[in-house]
Amino acid sequence: EVVTFYESPPAPPAGASPRAPCCSWSPSTAALWRVMDGNVITAKRTAAVSAIATKFLKPPSSEVLCILGAGVQAYSHYEVFTEQFSFKEVRIWNRTKENAEKFADTVEGEVQVCSSVQEAVTGADVIITVTMATEPILFGEWVKPGAHINAVGASRPDWRELDDQLLAGAVLYVDSREAALKESGDVLLSGAEIFAELGEVVAGVKPALCEKTTVFKSLGMAVEDAVAAKLVYDSWSSGK
């Protein structure tokens, strides 16, 4: 995936593709094989990885899902999570309330729009943060003991979504230790200790401590893009 990041990007022309195409090259000749629009691929694979983390780390009886943010990742996470899990209640908060209301009106199923982060997360079993926050918006004192948090936003070393109290009291899982220690402001600025990579849990090397409050810090990995892009290409080439 080739990503171009601007702090204040100019508005793209109508119909323009996102600035993150997925490209693949021949491993033997280095010839460019294919270029795919990476927007949907990135959204779907990120939500899929969060769902895997949630499968292992959520409380055994999880009834309330909370989503903080109402952008592309909020939609993809909602789609995957309501398909894979059976929540009795779904809540959403967004800094711009109109976008949260649009989300609730657009998706299938009932979603409660909340006026504050505290209102949204109080009593929630699973929390997903998919915001553009640069300072903490989710505070440990609001989080139910034993809850699971998928922290997807704050993908830069000076950005945060979670406060120190939350990270100090939670068991921290990441997709990649190397990436988290270079790119995650939530990890770097809090000094939180990484307990395990998600892959170690899936492989049975490290335990899933679902009885404790857990955080999965998602930054994304190249292998996720490669596998997801191959699935898309194989499906397209087979005519499905």
pLDDT tens by residue, 192-210: 999 999 999 999 999 999 9
Buried-state track 140-174, b at ≥16 Cβ within 10 A, e below 16? bebbeebbbbbbbbbbeeebbbbbbebbeebbbbb
- Residues 35, 20: contact at Cβ < 8 Å? no
Residue found under tokens 């909340």: 114
- Residues 80, 47: contact at Cβ < 8 Å? yes
Low-confidence ranges of the chain (pLDDT < 50): 15-18
CATH class of 43-221: alpha beta
pLDDT of residue 109: 96
Using one digit for the tens of pLDDT, what is the confidence trace for 45-79? 999 999 999 999 999 999 999 999 999 999 999 99
Distance from C-alpha of 63 to C-alpha of 123, rounded to nearest angstrom: 10
pLDDT of residue 16: 46
CA 89-92-97 angle, to 5 degrees, is 145
Q: Strand ranges (DSSP E) for the chain?
A: 22-25, 32-36, 64-68, 89-93, 112-113, 126-129, 148-151, 171-174, 194-197, 214-217
pLDDT of residue 6: 65
